Amino acid sequence: MTNPLILEPQKPADACVIWLHGLGADRYDFMPVAEALQEVLLSTRFVMPQAPTRAVTINGGYAMPSWYDIKAMSPARAIDESQLEDSAAEVIRLIKEQQAKGINLSRIILAGFSQGGAVVLHTAYIKWQEALGGVMALSTYAPTFADSTELNASQQRTPALCLHGVYDPVVVPAMGRTAFEYLKQWGVSATWQEYSMEHAVLPEEIQDIATWLIERLR
């Protein structure tokens, strides 16, 4: 994979947010958001990996940055699960890399928008077996949660912030809400917040993200 974009903080890093972009975007997509958040998170490093470019079936086979192929949209997303696993493995590699640099797991946050959010939800609550500092799931869904019945005690301790637009035509709010309900059912401290937007990010949402991150990383 292409090397991730890494934004070092003003002070020596003692926390890290690993942030995955959405389908068709790139590692620079959330750079302005990360730079704004670093104004208040003075010792938090942001790591933004780049999805590989590959054919996406639902887009007529057109090649674009994608964490996994989406083969059909309904009744539920039909996806290439092996590619999802590869993307989760890349996130786990980045987690371990930050650990090796001295960042405690309790201060590593996974974040993702849309398809990137699906990857981080799968990574944090299905693949990774230890507690993390948290997960931020933006305008996303959880394609593999229905295949799981429970989390271990460490996974349960990873809090989640689930954010969604009420007018989202790409990932309809019900898909995001279902992921949130699974987390609550499994005993995760999860928060659900809706915004008057479509498949996007709002300044109000960024402020809520900043507040949530400050509570966990201060």
Least confident of 57-61, 75-79, 113-117, 175-179: 75-79
Task: Report the Cα 89 to chain-centroid distance in Å.
Answer: 14
**Domain boundaries, given as residue ranges, for the chain:** 5-52+79-217
Angstrom distance (rounded) from CA 138 to CA 114: 6
Q: Is the pTM of this model over 0.75?
A: yes
Catalytic annotation on 168?
A: yes
Q: What is the CATH number of domain 5-52+79-217?
A: 3.40.50.1820
- Binned at pLDDT 50, 70 and 90, residue 16 comes out as very high
The rounded radius of gyration (Å) of the Cα atoms in the chain is 16
User: Over pLDDT 70: what percentage of the chain?
Assistant: 98
Angstrom distance (rounded) from CA 30 to CA 46: 10
Residue 199 reports pLDDT greater than 80:
yes
User: Over pLDDT 90: what percentage of the chain?
Assistant: 92
What would the pLDDT profile of 69-103 be if each residue is shown by its tens digit?
A: 999 877 567 899 999 999 999 999 999 999 999 99
Residue 180 reports pLDDT greater than 90:
yes
Q: What pLDDT score was predicted for residue 72?
A: 87
Q: What pLDDT score was predicted for residue 73?
A: 79
Residue 202 reports pLDDT greater than 70:
yes
Of 66, 114, 122, 139, the active-site residue reads 114
Do residues 195 and 138 make contact, with C-beta atoms less than 8 angstroms apart? Answer: no
What would the pLDDT profile of 132-171 be if each residue is shown by its tens digit?
A: 999 999 999 999 999 888 899 999 999 999 999 999 999 9
Q: Map residue 111 onto helix, strand or coil.
A: strand
Catalytic annotation on 164?
A: no
Angstrom distance (rounded) from CA 33 to CA 61: 31
Q: What pLDDT score was predicted for residue 75?
A: 59
Of 26, 43, 106, 199, the active-site residue reads 199
Question: What distances in angstroms separate CA 111 from CA 12, 135, 164, 209, one per listed residue?
Answer: 21, 6, 14, 10
Catalytic annotation on 87?
A: no
Q: What pLDDT score was predicted for residue 19?
A: 98
Residue 115 reports pLDDT greater than 70:
yes
| pLDDT, averaged across the chain | 95
